Amino acid sequence: MKRHSRLCGALLSLAVAAPVSAVAQERGRTDGPEESEYGKGGYSRSGGTGVSLQLDWGAAVNSEKPHRDAPEGPPLYAGATLSVWGADWYSLDASFAYVFDGGRVIGMVGPRFRTWGWPLVFSAGLRAGAIYIPEDEGLRFGISPHLGAEVLMGARDNIVLGLNYNPDIPIGGGGVSHRLGLGVGYRF
């Protein structure tokens, strides 16, 4: 009988001591540099701020036939986008693109907003800037609405694969360039 009471007493003391020791454990601290707290109560990834660089390419179709003196090329474009992230749901983008058919050079700046989700997010934005149309049109101010879908990859969701649509609309004539393309980016 004494043996059973010792066993029950030992089990009871373990049952009481385990939660008491867990309560007495020091709480996690977050007083170091921002985004550096790993371990108890810390953060595991950045809060969305930072900079990303994305390479863009795809199809580009002009709504009007380029001027006969304009450079001829395939209906393709290539470009890059530099984004400064305020949070996971918005960024300020600066993009550059070259449309091979007609030789258009497009430089735009503007905000982009993203939906919440993982790993697939959707984005929309509006950019404004300069569109250079060679030969008779010259330099024009333009706007470029943005619609896209992105897949986040990598251990810290820092690799972004995207599908984007941008109609580049020059104000004052010159025809719209419809760009549909892919993007591969890295978020620093």
pLDDT tens digits, 66-79? 666 667 788 899 99
Q: Report pLDDT digits (tens) over 119-163.
A: 899 999 999 999 998 866 689 999 999 999 999 888 777 898 999
Phi/psi of residue 73, each to 5°?
-170, 180
Residue 102: per-residue pLDDT:
83
| Residue 2: pLDDT over 60 | no
| Residue 97: pLDDT over 90 | yes
What 3-state class would DSSP assign to 168? strand
Question: To the nearest whole number, what is the mean pLDDT of the chain?
Answer: 79
Tokens 């010159």 found at: 174
Stretch(es) of the chain classified as CATH 2.40.160.20:
50-187
Q: Report pLDDT digits (tens) over 33-89.
A: 565 555 444 444 455 678 999 999 999 998 877 666 667 788 899 999 999 998 888
Pairwise CA distance, residues 101 & 55, whole Å:
19
Tell which CATH classification among 3.40.50.1000, 2.40.160.20, 2.60.120.620, 1.20.1070.10 matches the domain 50-187. 2.40.160.20
Query: Residues in the chain, how many?
Result: 188
Residue 51: per-residue pLDDT:
93
